[in-house]
A and B are shown apart, each in its own frame.
Chain A
Amino acid sequence: MTPKPRVSRRGLLGGGAAAAGVAGAFAAGRLAAPDAEPVSGAVASYPFRGERQAGIVTPAQDRLHFVALDVTTDDRDRLVALLEAWTEAAERMTRGTSAGPVGAVDGPGNAPPDDTGEALDLPPSGLTVTFGFGPSLFADADGNDRFGIAERRPAALERLPRFSADVLDPARSDGDICIQACADDPQVAVHAIRNLVRIGFGTTAVRWSQLGFGRTSTTSRSQSTPRNLFGFKDGTANIKAEEAAALDQHVWVGADDDPNAAWLAGGSYLVTRRINMTIEVWDRQSLDAQEQFVGRTKGTGAPLSGGEEFSVPDFDIRGSAGPLIPVDAHVRVVHPRAHDNVRMLRRGYNFVDGSNDVGGLDAGLFFIAYVRDPRTHFIPLQRAMSKTDALMEYLRFTGQALFAVPPGVGEGEYVGQALFA
Chain B
Amino acid sequence: MRKTLLASVAALAVVPALAACTENASDGDGGDAKGNARALTVTSSADACELSSGEAPAGTLTFNVTNTGSDVTEFYLLGSDGLRIVGEVENIGPNLTKKLTVNAPEGDYFTACKPGMVGEGIRAAFTVTHSDEEQEVSASDQELIDQAQNNYRAYVQDQSAQLLAKTTEFVQLYKDGKDDDARALYPVAREHWERIETVAESFGDLDPKTDAREADVDFAAGEEWTGWHRIEKDLWPAEAKGYTALTPEERATYADDLLANTQELDKRVQATGADALEYPIDAIANGSIGLLEEVANGKITGEEEAWSHTDLWDFQANVDGARVAYEGVQGLLETKDAALAEELTTKFAALQALLDEYRDGEGFVLYTELTKDDTKKMTDAVNALSEPLSKLTAAVTS
Contacts and interface: CB of A to CB of B under 8 A. Distances in A.
Among A166, A311, A319, A387, the most chain B Cβ lie within 10 Å of the Cβ of A319
Interface string B90-114: 1101111000000000000000000
Interface of A: 161-167, 278, 280-281, 284-286, 288-289, 292, 297, 302-308, 311, 314, 317-322, 324, 326, 328, 357-360, 383, 386-387, 390, 392-393
Contacts of B117: 319-320
Contact of B300 (A161, A165, A167, A358): A358
A299 to B, nearest CB: 8
Contacts of A305: 93-94
A166 B215 contact: yes
A387 B93 contact: no
Given A162-B220, A164-B217, A165-B215, A302 B95 contact: yes
A30 to B, nearest CB: 35
Interface stretch (B27-35, B164-172, B375-383): B375-383
B90 A359 contact: no
A359 B94 CA distance: 42
B95 A320 contact: no
B375 A358 contact: yes
Given A321-B11, A324-B72, A164 B218 contact: yes
Given A164-B223, A278-B296, A393-B1, A357 B372 contact: yes
- What 4 A-B pairs come out closest when comparing CB atoms? A306-B93, A306-B94, A319-B91, A284-B390
Given A164-B215, A358-B376, A322 B11 contact: yes
21 contacts: A162-B220, A164-B223, A280-B296, A281-B293, A289-B11, A292-B12, A302-B96, A304-B93, A305-B94, A311-B95, A322-B11, A324-B72, A358-B300, A359-B380, A383-B218, A383-B221, A390-B2, A393-B1, A393-B2, A393-B293, A393-B297
A139 to B, nearest CB: 20
B72 A319 contact: yes
Given A305-B93, A326-B11, A358 B379 contact: yes
Contact of A297 (B14, B96, B372, B394): B96
Interface in B346-396: 372, 375-376, 378-380, 383, 386-387, 389-390, 393-394
Given A167-B215, A303-B93, A390-B2, A289 B8 contact: yes
Interface residues of B, number: 45
A139 B220 CA distance: 22
Contact of B297 (A163, A278, A307, A359): A278
Nearest to B380: A359
A282 to B, nearest CB: 10
Contacts of B8: 289, 292
B394 A322 contact: no
Contacts of A308: 95
A219 to B, nearest CB: 27
Interface string B210-245: 000001111011010000000000000000000000
A359 B1 CA distance: 23
A390 B218 CA distance: 17
Contacts of A278: 296-297
Give chain A's interface secondary structure class.
Answer: loop
B216 A359 contact: no
Given A167-B215, A302-B95, A393-B2, A284 B379 contact: no
Nearest to A391: B2
B67 interface: yes
B96 A304 contact: yes
A165 B393 CA distance: 29
B393 A286 contact: yes
Contact of B2 (A304, A314, A321, A392): A392
A109 B203 CA distance: 72
Interface in B59-81: 67, 72, 74
B289 interface: yes
Interface string B1-42: 111000010111110000000000000000000000000000
A382 B289 CA distance: 29
A371 to B, nearest CB: 19
A255 to B, nearest CB: 31
Nearest to A358: B379
A278 B294 CA distance: 12
Contacts of A326: 11
Contacts of B297: 278, 281, 393
Contacts of B375: 357-358
A16 to B, nearest CB: 45
Contacts of B300: 358
A231 to B, nearest CB: 15
B220 A324 contact: no
